[in-house]
């Protein structure tokens, strides 16, 4: 197994496949086998190689390639392709027992020599397990023709880089064949085109903006959403900005209005990096606006160059509102297209394990991550207002009434919905 450091964008994709689903669908009927799910997505992926960065918002990578260890819904490590693990007598090497009767997508058995995988590592076991659960640590076999072969519930039946793909059910999957026969994917599709294709019956699953959820529900479409898997935050790139100005900006932000009005109450306002479902302590980071205190701190503040992706349909209105909030406190944010003092960014939550998620967030922010408990680690990352979390956002899709269990790809199935039935 090749160990390569996690790439945070790819790791973010694993969360989609594992997150518990909140959906507007009625109780599902008994699952059935067969059928093909047609999916459209904005991202145009060049590869599904787990060691390469990819904006895999659909969780395609973990549906094809598996790791020795996985995290359950509580963030606890559980057996994956390894059924158990123990250390050698010197405690310098960990020995993982390979799961028996695992078949690769090409029909060959996956059988490590001696039925075990040795990981020479004297770090604490929790850290080792967290690293082995990263998508970049997945078991990947490269065939003679250069194609990538895995052990997951789906195999790559066709791959057209940045255009389309077809994932076919792995009939010999060790945990049981997935319900659908295939997942057909079209990439690089704008959101408006996806919505039109869904309404015209050309696709079964379409990505949507969180603020469009209510509107599409009113049109009769079923909506599937994950728990929050992304943090929108301000990040200071200029270290010379005074701490008082940073704190003033943090206190000026009206998170409640941003969520209630701009995001149609689909987000979770927060001053914490990790969402509530993952950490359980996000409420300990005060998120209330304090304009009076912000004005006191902002006295004599210099204008700040403020940058964000103005093509991003979520960042643009939120960035505009933050600029208004700041002006009310006496801080001028001037839109910049290049170098900036402060930038509004999206930070993906990459793991169901809070320590791993914080470690990856620290890497994205280029901050030192102390080796301590999650709360203390997050507190250290937020000290000094180098980063100011604004709101946590879920991922959302509009789906046809026949699709069940989206986006858990291994469990997705198609219901036989009669004409006129409501989803």
pLDDT band at 42 (very low <50, low <70, confident <90, very high): very high
Cα-based distances in Å from 184 to 7, 168, 191: 26, 9, 17
1, 128 contact by CB (below 8 A): no
**Tens digits of residue pLDDT in 375-399:** 999 999 999 999 999 999 999 999 9
343 φ, ψ (degrees, to nearest 5): -135, 140
pLDDT at position 204 over 60: yes
- The span from the CA of 107 to the CA of 102, in Å, is 10
- The span from the CA of 177 to the CA of 16, in Å, is 20
Strand, helix or coil for residue 96 = strand
DSSP-H helix ranges across 280-330:
291-297, 315-328
The answer to whether the Cα torsion of 354, 46, 162, 152 is positive or negative is: negative
Domain 230-394 architecture:
Roll (3.10)
Cα-based angle 314, 319, 320 (whole degrees, multiple of 5): 110
**Tens digits of residue pLDDT in 43-89:** 999 999 998 876 677 889 999 999 999 998 888 899 999 999 998 87
Whether a cis peptide bond, with omega within 30° of 0, leads into 407 is yes
pTM beyond 0.85, yes or no: yes
- The span from the CA of 58 to the CA of 66, in Å, is 16
Domain 8-225+397-414 architecture:
3-Layer(aba) Sandwich (3.40)
Whole-angstrom Cα Rg for the chain: 23
Residue ranges of domains in the chain: 8-225+397-414, 230-394
103, 175 contact by CB (below 8 A): no
């Amino acid at each position: 197994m090749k160990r390569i450091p996690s790439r945070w964008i790819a790791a973010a994709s694993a969360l989609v496949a594992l997150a518990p689903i909140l959906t507007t669908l009625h109780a599902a009927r008994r699952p059935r086998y067969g059928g093909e799910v047609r999916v459209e997505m904005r991202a145009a992926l060049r590869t599904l190689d787990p060691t390469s960065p990819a904006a895999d918002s659909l969780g395609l990578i973990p549906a094809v390639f598996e790791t020795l260890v996985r995290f359950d819904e509580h963030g606890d490590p559980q057996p994956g392709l390894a059924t158990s693990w123990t250390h050698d007598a010197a405690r310098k090497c960990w020995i993982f027992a390979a799961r028996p009767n695992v078949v690769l997508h090409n029909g060959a058995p996956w059988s490590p020599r001696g039925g075990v995988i040795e990981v020479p590592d004297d770090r604490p076991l929790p850290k080792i397990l967290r690293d082995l659960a990263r998508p970049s640590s997945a078991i990947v076999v490269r065939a003679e023709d250069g194609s990538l072969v895995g052990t997951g519930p789906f195999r790559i039946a066709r791959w057209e880089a940045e255009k389309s793909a077809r994932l076919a059910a792995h009939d010999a999957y060790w945990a049981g064949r997935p319900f659908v026969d295939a997942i057909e994917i079209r990439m690089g599709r704008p959101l408006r085109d996806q919505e039109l294709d869904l309404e015209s019956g050309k696709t079964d699953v379409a990505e949507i903006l969180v603020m469009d959820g209510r509107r599409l529900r009113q049109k009769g479409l079923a909506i599937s959403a994950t728990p929050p898997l992304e943090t929108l935050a301000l990040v200071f790139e200029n270290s010379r900005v005074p701490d008082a100005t940073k704190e003033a900006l943090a206190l000026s932000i009206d998170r409640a209005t941003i969520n209630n009005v701009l995001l149609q109450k689909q987000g979770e306002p927060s001053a914490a990096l990790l969402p509530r479902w993952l950490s359980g302590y996000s409420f300990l980071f005060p998120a209330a606006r304090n304009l009076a205190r912000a004005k006191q701190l902002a006295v004599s503040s210099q204008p700040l160059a403020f940058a964000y992706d103005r093509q991003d349909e979520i960042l643009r209105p939120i960035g505009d509102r933050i600029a208004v909030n700041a002006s009310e406190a006496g801080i001028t944010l001037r839109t910049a297209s290049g170098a900036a003092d402060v930038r509004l960014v999206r930070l993906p939550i990459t793991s169901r394990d809070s320590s791993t998620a914080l470690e990856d967030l620290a890497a994205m922010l280029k901050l030192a991550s102390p080796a301590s408990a999650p709360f203390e680690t997050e507190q250290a990352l937020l000290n000094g207002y180098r980063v100011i979390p604004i709101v946590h956002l879920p991922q959302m899709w509009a789906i046809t009434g026949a699709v069940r269990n989206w986006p858990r790809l291994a469990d997705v199935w198609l219901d036989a919905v009669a004409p006129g039935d409501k989803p």
